[in-house]
Amino acid sequence: MRIRVSHETTLTFSAPVRSLLLHVRMTPRSFDSQYVMRWRVGVDLDATLRPREDAFGSVVHSLSWHKPIEGVTVSASGEVETTDAVGVVRGAVENLPSPMFLRASPLAQANAALREFAESVVDSDPLGRLHKLMAAVHATLTLDPGADEAPASEVFALKKGGPAGFAHVFIAAARALQIPARYVQGYRVGESGQDMFAWAEAFAPGFGWIGFDAVHDVCPNDSYIRVASGLDAKDAAPLRYWTNAGETTVTASLQVEQAGVQSQN
């Protein structure tokens, strides 16, 4: 599938700021089932975004600004060709060994209730257990698209959350079962609006890393564009910024559609 993305985020400051540091994770990378045909990330300032690779293999563009400004707009757009690999991620940049993703992280840490939930999902086959865990998270949680990022324990207690919350619950439960798991931020056809989509990946012996989208109870297919990964959402955030401003208003627009086919959402 050829997928076209147009993503724009504007930061408006309550008062002019003299210092701004931006980290932008909105650039996908090519691997076996994903080929980046064209992609551009930019800002509406007379400045250059400097690219680098973070510890998780994600592309990060950074900007340091030291002149008074009242706001900034970050844009990302391009086309990506994808194929359905039933969630299996092969050929991606892997800077860290899989056991590193057994570490608890602030947003994906299992409490007693989540550990009990994870242990209730039983299957003799490790891959089968992961599929059953995805189905259990899907059946247990209700989707609240407007929900803020919250720790897995809080999402599980409320029984609702956004895509990030579903991913955090799956990751925390998988780690409780001693299965390496990580957070993934990206784009999905049909998920246009404001925010990027999120899902999880877990390491299955004999297969490697496999994606699990507990919101839709499917392994990511050719409708998904993988952009950034990490221990949880903070590591893969599309935009992080630091200023000396009092308050910042964030507005965003996102269009993700199959090239040549107008999205209906």
Q: State the Cα–Cα distance between residues 235 and 167, nearest whole angstrom.
A: 13
What pLDDT, in 10s, does the model give residues 70-103?
A: 999 999 999 999 999 999 999 999 999 999 999 9
What's the confidence (pLDDT) of residue 229? Answer: 98
Cβ neighbours for 49, distance < 8 A, ≥ 6 positions apart: 22, 24, 41, 42, 43, 61, 62, 63
Rounded mean pLDDT of 10-34? Answer: 95
Q: State the Cα–Cα distance between residues 34 and 138, nearest whole angstrom.
A: 26
What pLDDT, in 10s, does the model give residues 107-129?
A: 999 999 999 999 999 998 999 99
Structural domains for the chain: 2-82+239-258 (2.60.40.2250), 98-234 (3.10.620.30)
What pLDDT, in 10s, does the model give residues 216-252?
A: 999 999 999 999 999 999 999 999 999 987 789 999 9
**Tokens 């980046």 -> residue:** 36
What's the confidence (pLDDT) of residue 262? Answer: 52
Measure Cα distances from 9 to 43, 52, 111, 196, 239 in Å: 10, 21, 35, 11, 9
What's the confidence (pLDDT) of residue 256? Answer: 96
Secondary structure letter of residue 120 according to DSSP: T
Residue 59 backbone phi and psi in degrees, to 5 = -80, 125
What pLDDT, in 10s, does the model give residues 51-64?
A: 999 999 999 999 99
What pLDDT, in 10s, does the model give residues 148-207?
A: 889 999 999 999 999 999 999 999 999 999 999 999 999 999 887 778 999 999 999 999
Does residue 263 carry a pLDDT above 50? no
Q: Tell which residue, 28, 63, 58, 25, has the closest CA to residue 44.
A: 63
Residue 265: pLDDT band by 50, 70, 90 thresholds?
very low
Measure Cα distances from 97 to 46, 89, 100, 181, 235 in Å: 39, 15, 6, 12, 16
pTM of the complete model beyond 0.85: yes
Measure Cα distances from 206 to 56, 135, 202, 224 in Å: 22, 22, 12, 23
> Residue 170: is it exposed, middle or buried by C-beta count within 10 angstroms (0-12/13-18/19+)?
buried
Structure tokens at 76: 């990302």
